A and B are shown apart, each in its own frame.
Chain A
Amino acid sequence: MSDISHPSLLRRLYFTPLRDLLRGRITAAQDYHAALADAALPAPIRQLIEQTVRRTRLWRSEKTALAEELLAHFADGLERQSTEQLVDAFGSIAAAARLIRRGKKRNRPLAWKALRLVGQMITLLLLLCAVAAGRFFMGQPVHSVDYVGQLQQASAQAPLEDRAWPLYRRGLLSSGLSPPSRRVWDLADSFDVRPGDKDWPSVRSWLKQHADAMELFRHASAKPALGFVLGPGGSYDDDPQLYGPGHRFWDAPDSVPADSLWAIPIPYLTTLRIVSEAIGADAVLANEENDGPRCIADIQAMIDLAGQLQRQRLGFDLSDMVALGVRNLALDYADQVVAHGPRSLSDDQLRRLVHQLANGDRAADLIDLDGERMNFADVIQHVYTDDGHGDGRMTPAGVRLLWSAEEKQADPSAVTFLVGDWIRWAPLPVVAISRREAVEQFNHLMDLAELQLNRPLREVHDFAADHEIEAMKKSALGNWRYKVLVDCAVFQVSLVQKAAEQYLGHRDGVSVGIALALYHRRHGVYPSSLQALVPDLLPAVPVDRITGEPVHYTIRDGIPIVYSVGADRKDDGGVPAVTDSDMQGLPDPAAEWNVPANKAAHGDWILYPQSRFGH
């Protein structure tokens, strides 16, 4: 710095208030050092003022005003007292500077005080965030239960001779239905053809060519256990021949822990679904060839395969849903065989078919939520810390796991959790429910769902579980708060139940259809009412699953039709609801429960023969 008595332009600019600068004047009015240097005061007093002012660490304008006041004070004092007396009377410089600073700051503008308060609050908030973040990032999930091991043990429990998978595997390899082959999917589509369709000859030819594989599949389905050993070192890891070298069922994100149920590949669900399609097509071929025993055996094989899938305990409801899909296929083929003339089937075989199809009367008989409960328990132990008393908080590993649950749905290529993801997902650990709350809320939802699945859908007037889940998703806060439930554990129970009830309704229709076919064989005509079938051919007339009344029956163009009055609760004489051509193959629009009658599709829900009505 240049000499104070001859300040440079830069120094003068530095000490000029902004107000003066804006007026074009370089006043250096805030250069209290220069004022002190110019003052006619003894050096000890100048030093005292200099030190006091400097130590206040006030704004420059405040320091200037203070220096000016102290200069006047000591100038006045020197008229009556000596320098030493004045310096002594002043007291401690440090204490004076501290007290003056405090007093001066109290005189600062309100806006500055408000800004300072905001700054302090932000600092406090940042500190709290830092503490919370530190606590969060130190959180580690505790894996106290080895669910993967439990599943692995359960799936490997069956003796080798009771396992179906080795036979399915042989059939898959010999028929070329092995998963890596693109041809599998083409074949799966091809199986969905019927005699008379232009592709039927090629399917028939393929089925004849692979009759041995079909036999293996039937043989496999008769085994009590599926026997696909899950988990590391299991049937999937061990089988490059079937799944190809370096096979990967899915691109598991690095955020999915290898010891979680989510990391277990379950490729057999897709594979066996295709197997069931092939067996169904073989049932149609057997009927065409008047091979009754094989036709019945094929349908039985599909039903047994569904049972194997249900019994293969897996931590998801996926198994049950795929099993239900296979049951539906079996039913479709049974419907088709009976509706198009079960010429290959004897009376006994038809009665056996009815018996095979009888497997419960409630959705709960087809959907078991134990797997969901197990899956969620595993999710919880990978997401939360464990305080040993049933509670805990969200962990970084948990956030990454939930991210993968959500992100993989939107972008299957997303495998790595990046910094940007931390920023986007930051609200989660702040607002997420605790471990205890999550478990309690989940159990509550599952209890509601089980209660609902045990009742006919027509008697369920309040879809409480669905409503509670929807309420969680409704707001952004709720979505974050209940994310562990929304992303990992929640399915729409009413949709699952509807699928099960639609299956059960169709099953009842096919059972009545078979009884009608037997009656027709015996009497040469169809009965005037379904009561005529009871009790010889039918233990009781099934109820319409929508109304609870007996199902309806009519004959049109010589074809017996069994039907429910449908969602509009109006008997349209067995005329089906109009289905958009694009909706062919999807559930009947008349098969609805939770739609008000005045808003429902007009027409009846055809229970049998669905194969003649495009469903």
Chain B
Amino acid sequence: MRIERELMRGAGPAAVLRLLEPGERYGYELVQLLEARSEGVLAMGQSTLYPLLYNLQAKGLIAARRQVAPSGRVRKYYRLTSKGQRRLTRQRKQWQALSIAMGKLGLAGN
């Protein structure tokens, strides 16, 4: 199931921040992880992911570095900044509260 655009607009950045919490990742890796971990619900095309990454970078929530892999491939790795970490912490609480509230309304959980 794909979720609607408006919902994705709020969920997408939070999901990317969460995926970067353990450590830095590159673009294709993020695409794969989003699809796998959300079982396809939060899957987003590259045309959505990269603009999202650039926006998060502009807001100072993530930072990027260029690195040449042993294969010779030049990748861009993204990592969470301290500001991004704080934002993620706040969003996590908000999503939890939202989830509980939606659950009480019978819209989330069992």
Interface size on B, residues (CB 8 A): 24
Question: What sequence of 0s and 1s flags, for each residue 71-109 of chain A, a beta carbon within 8 Å of any chain B beta carbon?
Answer: 111011100100000000111110110011011101100
B28 at the interface (CB under 8 A from A): yes
Q: Which residues of A contact B45 (CB under 8 A)?
A: 89-91, 96
**Known contacts A76-B29, A91-B45: A99-B76 contact under CB 8 Å:** no
Contact A103 B52 (CB under 8 A): yes
Among B54-62, B84-92, B98-106, the one that faces the other chain is B54-62
Q: Point out the residue from A65, A91, A103, A104 that lies within 8 Å of B46, measured CB to CB.
A: A91
Q: B109: CB under 8 A from chain A?
A: no
Chain B residue with minimal CB distance to A52?
A: B47
In whole angstroms, what is the CA distance A68 to B75 when docked? 8
Residues of chain A contacted by B32 (CB below 8 angstroms): 80
Identify B50's interface contact among A69, A77, A93, A106, CB under 8 A. A69
Query: Given A95-B47, A96-B46, A100-B50 in contact, is the A72-B55 Cβ separation under 8 Å?
Result: no
A89 and B57 contacting across the interface, CB-CB below 8 Å:
no
Residues of B within 8 A of A76 (CB): 26-29, 73, 75
Cα A68 to Cα B52 in complex, Å, equals: 18
A102 to B32, CA, bound (A): 24
Nearest CB on A from B64, distance (A) = 9
CB distance from B79 to the nearest CB of A (A): 15
The reply to whether B46 and A106 form a contact with Cβ atoms under 8 Å apart is no
B7: interface (CB < 8 Å): no
Do B28 and A100 have beta carbons less than 8 Å apart?
no
Shortest CB–CB separation between residue A98 and chain B, in angstroms? 8
A89: which B residues are within 8 A, CB to CB? 31, 45-46
Cα-based distance from A421 to B25 in the complex (angstroms): 66
Per a CB cutoff under 8 Å, which of B27, B47, B57 touches A72? Answer: B27
The answer to whether A107 and B26 touch (CB under 8 A), given A72-B73, A72-B76, is no
Min CB distance A70 to B, Å, is 8
Pairwise interchain contact A73-B74, C-beta atoms closer than 8 A: no
Contacts of B31 in A (CB 8 A): 73, 89
The verdict on A107 contacting B27 (CB below 8 Å), with A72-B73, A72-B74, A76-B73 known, is no
A69 in contact with B55 (CB, 8 Å) = no
Interface bin, chain A = 20 to 34
Does chain A have a CB within 8 A of B48? yes
How far apart are the CA atoms of A107 and B29 in the complex, in Å? 22
Task: Decide: A103 near B53, CB < 8 A? Known: A90-B47, A91-B45.
Answer: yes
The listed residue with most A CB atoms (<10 A of its CB), out of B50, B73, B76, is B50
Q: Which chain A residues in 257-290 approach chain B with CB under 8 Å?
A: none
The main secondary structure of chain A at its interface with chain B is helix
Separation of A96 and B52 alpha carbons in the complex (Å) = 11
Shortest B94–chain A CB gap in Å is 23
**Chain A residues with CB below 8 A from B66, complex form:** 68
- With A73-B46, A95-B47: A103-B54 Cβ-Cβ less than 8 Å: yes
Tell me, in angstroms, the Cα distance from A75 to B66 when the chains sit together: 16
By the criterion CB–CB under 8 Å, are A73 and B57 in contact? no
Contacts A73-B46, A90-B45; A103 near B73 (Cβ below 8 A): no
A79 (CB) vs chain B CBs: closest residue = B28
Chain A residue at minimal CB-CB distance from B56: A103
Contact with B along A369-400 (1 / 0, CB 8 A): 00000000000000000000000000000000
Q: Which residue of A lies closest to B55 (CB)?
A: A103
B49 nearest in chain A by CB position: A73
Contact A96 B73 (CB under 8 A): no
Among B32, B46, B55, B76, the one with the most A-chain Cβ atoms within 10 Å of its Cβ is B46
Question: Among B27, B48, B51, B52, which residue has its beta carbon within 8 angstroms of that of A73?
Answer: B27
A residues 99-142 with Cβ under 8 Å of B?
99-100, 102-104, 106-107
CA distance A77 to B73 in the complex (A): 13
B61, chain A: closest CB distance, angstroms: 12
Min CB distance, B41 to chain A, in Å?
Answer: 15
A463 to B24, CA, bound (A): 81
Report if A75-B73 is in contact (Cβ < 8 Å); known contacts: A103-B52, A103-B55, A106-B54: yes
Cα(A379)–Cα(B52), bound, Å: 64
* Interface contact A107-B57, CB-CB below 8 Å: yes
* Chain B positions within 8 Å of A66 at CB level: 50
| Inter-chain contact B48/A100, CB cutoff 8 Å | no
A102: which B residues are within 8 A, CB to CB?
A: 51, 55
Residues of A within 8 A of B27 (CB): 69, 72-73, 76
Residues of A within 8 A of B55 (CB): 102-103, 106
| Residue of B with least CB distance to A106 | B58
Pairs of residues from A and B, 9 with the lowest C-beta to C-beta distance, nearest first: A103-B54, A96-B47, A106-B58, A99-B51, A91-B47, A91-B45, A76-B28, A103-B51, A107-B58
Question: Which A residues are within 8 Å of any B CB, using their own CB?
Answer: 65-66, 68-73, 75-77, 80, 89-93, 95-96, 99-100, 102-104, 106-107
29 A-B residue pairs with CB within 8 Å: A68-B74, A68-B76, A69-B50, A69-B75, A72-B26, A72-B27, A72-B28, A73-B26, A76-B28, A76-B29, A89-B31, A90-B45, A90-B47, A93-B47, A96-B45, A96-B51, A99-B47, A99-B48, A99-B51, A102-B51, A103-B50, A103-B51, A103-B54, A103-B55, A104-B54, A106-B55, A106-B58, A107-B57, A107-B58
Given contacts A76-B75, A93-B47, A106-B55, 12 further A-B contacts (CB under 8 A): A68-B66, A69-B27, A72-B27, A72-B28, A73-B28, A76-B27, A76-B29, A89-B31, A96-B47, A96-B51, A100-B54, A103-B51
